[in-house]
Amino acid sequence: MNVKQLMLVLLLFVFFFSSCKIKTSNDEQLLKTIDQSLQVACEQYRQMQLNVPDSLFPRTYIDGQVKLVSIYDWTSGFYPASLWYLFQYSKDTLFLNNAKKFTSFLEPLKHYKGTHDLGFMIFCPYGNGYKITGDTSYLEVILETSKSLASRFNPKVGLIKSWDHNHWQYPVIIDNMMNLELLCQASKLNNDSMFYHIAATHANITLKNHFRPDNSTFHLVNYDTLTGAVINKQTVQGYSDSSSWARGQSWGLYGFTVMFRETGDSTYLKKACQMADYLIRHPNLPSDAIPYWDYNAPKIPNEPRDVSAAAIMASALIELHEYAPTIAYLEHAKTIIRSLSSANYLAKTGTNGHFILMHATGHLPANSEIDVPINYADYYFIEALLRMRAKLESAS
Ligand code: GLY
């Protein structure tokens, strides 16, 4: 064998082993950590279920009280959607029974046209319920809800209107990307392209107008309904119009990753990767990878964290790594999961109003839900744990 041939064999050898999925001892350790966190999650929600009255949904825990909300709150779907995931993991039928029951309470929302948040409210619980049980009655609700969401699409603007309140003419927030999966699924179910067209048009115009040159996203873009032109770009929940509100960045990352999955359009994948690169290299991201509530908050490091932004980001990065296998995406998701599973963020069982994570921030400028547990942080944390677990389990 000459030197060239030897080099070739060596290269092939390196390529073969670097592309093999080998579970390292760190991954074995992470699997144990994930199971421990999932057990804490099960224990907390087992207890939580005992005190949740019918038709109400636990949202947060403030001043020693669990705050319960009605079906019309944008977070109502996360409680039953989490129960579905916990049933999937534990096979505990108490989770199954309550997941079914609390999912069914949400059914009237299928005719509700007053918000863009129907993806969170309906697709998270009904989508999970369908995936886990195969019950086709859930599909009818998904389809009907898509009609309600589609009623908020204005073809002149090319976007779904986010909110009806306040002074904006046609506000669209980055969070709205999270509702497009509902439409894509309904398009497949109904075998027509209308919902798909609405979702893709919304994503395309978001791509055009919501992003800054560094791939961070504005929170809200306000449009003129007569011309479709942008009126202004601003924040509502972030520190300033030009800052990067942490959860908004995570919604965008997750939303464009899902849109690539649903459409195969590589421009969405490119944007998701650009967002991921911006976020994981951000100079204001602490070493434990749990962002402050806004990446540009003025008093960093003395600012509240937002575990919800971290959990959404971890879950998105695990999926993104399937389509763009950059090792940094997976490693970053692992760092987030390890941090959220530590005593710094994971509640002790029996505390925290039986929520799983501590230290989420809902709406700091409105002085609302600062440094508290919140149901959507728990939901995306459970999802990230299950996704990472499946990924590690599938490694040889
Ligand atoms: N969609 C509202 C929020 O993320 O707070």
Q: What does 285-342 look like in DSSP terms, one character per residue?
A: S-TT---BSBTT-TTTTSS-B-HHHHHHHHHHHHHHHHHS--HHHHHHHHHHHHHHTS
**What distance in angstroms lies between residue 321's CA and the mean position of ligand 1's atoms?**
25
Residue with tokens 């908004």: 248
Under a CB-based contact definition with an 8 Å cutoff, are residues 78 and 375 in contact?
Answer: yes
Ligand 1 mutation target, pool 69, 73, 74, 76, most atoms within 8 A of CB: 74
pLDDT given at position 229: 98
Is 370:361 a contact under the CB 8 Å cutoff?
Answer: yes
Let me know if residue 7 belongs to a domain: no
Residue with tokens 């939580």: 48
- Residue 57 pairs with which residues in a beta bridge? 69
Residue 127's domain spans which residues?
A: 29-395
User: What pLDDT is stored for residue 23 in this prediction?
Assistant: 73
The CATH number assigned to the domain holding 363 equals: 1.50.10.10
pTM of the entire predicted model: 0.94
Using a CB cutoff of 8 Å and minimum separation of 24, what contacts does 285-292 make? Answer: 288/335, 288/339, 288/342, 288/344, 289/332, 289/335, 289/336, 289/339, 290/336, 290/339, 290/340, 290/345, 290/359, 291/246, 292/246
Q: How does pLDDT run across 345-360, given as a tens digit for each residue? A: 999 999 999 999 999 9
- The pLDDT tens digits for 10-69 are 555 544 444 455 678 999 999 999 999 999 999 999 999 999 999 999 999 999 999 999
| 73 Cβ inside 6 Å of ligand 1 | no
- Mean pLDDT confidence for 265-294: 98
| Beta-bridge partner residues of 233 | 221
Q: In what order do the strands lie in the sheet with 220-223?
A: 171-173, 220-223, 230-234
92: its two tokens? 């505990």
Mean pLDDT of the chain: 95
Q: Above 70 in pLDDT, residue 396?
A: no
The CA 175 to ligand 1 mean position distance, Å, reads: 6
Structure-token match 């070739």, residue found: 8
Is 13 a member of any domain? no
Atom of ligand 1 nearest to the CA of 362: 5
Q: Take atom 1 of ligand 1 and give the residue whose Cα is closest.
A: 175
Is 153 within 8 Å of 160 (Cβ atoms)? yes
Please, what's the largest Cα pairwise distance for the chain?
76
Token pair listed for 273:
């990767």
Would you state the structure tokens that stand for residue 191, as one six-digit string?
């075998």
Q: How far is the CA of 237 from the centre of ligand 1 (A)?
A: 8
Q: Is residue 1 included in any domain, yes or no?
A: no
Burial of 51-71, coded b for 16+ CB within 10 Å and e otherwise, reads ebeeebbbbbbeeeebbbbeb
In-domain check, residue 132: yes
The predicted model gives 222-248 an average pLDDT of: 98
Ligand 1 center to residue 234 CA distance, Å?
15
214 catalytic residue (yes or no): no
Residue 361 in any domain: the answer is yes
192 pLDDT band, cuts 50/70/90, is confident
Q: What is the pLDDT of residues 201-223, one digit of tens each?
A: 999 999 999 999 999 999 999 99
Nearest ligand 1 atom, CA 247: 4
In the reported structure, the alpha carbon of residue 248 is separated from the centroid of ligand 1 by a whole-number distance in angstroms of 8
For residue 359, give both structure tokens: 């230290």
- Is 247 within a domain? yes
Is 8 within the bounds of a domain? no
63, 92, 117, 288: the active-site residue:
117
Catalytic member of 92, 164, 175, 294: 175
The whole-angstrom separation of Cα 274 and Cα 280 is 10
* Cβ atoms of residues 259 and 203 within 8 Å: yes
Does the beta carbon of 219 lie inside 6 Å of ligand 1? no
127 CA → ligand 1 middle, Å: 20
Look at residue 374 and tell me whether its pLDDT is greater than 80: yes
Is the shortest distance between the CB of 306 and ligand 1 below 6 Å? no
374 φψ region: left (φ > 0), alpha (ψ -120 to 50), beta (else): beta
**pLDDT score for 19:** 47
Residue type, 303: E
Determine whether the shortest distance from the Cβ of 247 to ligand 1 is under 6 A. Answer: yes
Give 102 Cα–ligand 1 centroid separation in angstroms: 21
The distance of Cα 56 from the centroid of its chain, to the nearest Å, equals 22
Mutate to test the pocket of ligand 1, among 251, 369, 375, 379 (most ligand atoms within 8 A of CB): 251
Q: Answer positive or negative: Cα dihedral of 364, 175, 133, 103.
A: positive
381 lies in some domain: yes
Q: Is residue 294 annotated as a catalytic residue, yes or no?
A: no
Contact 291, 285 (CB under 8 A): yes
> Strand, helix or coil at 152?
coil
CB 215 within 8 A of CB 271: yes
Give yes or no for residue 175 CB within 6 A of ligand 1: yes
Residue nearest to atom 2 of ligand 1 (CA): 175
Q: Which atom of ligand 1 is nearest to the CA of 251?
A: 4
What residues contact residue 117 under an 8 Å CB cut-off, 6+ apart? 74, 175, 179
- Does an H or E element contain 159, and which? strand 159-160
pLDDT single digits (tens) 296-317: 999 999 999 999 999 999 999 9
Split into its structural domains, the chain has a count of 1
Question: Going by CA atoms, what residue is nearest to atom 5 of ligand 1?
Answer: 362
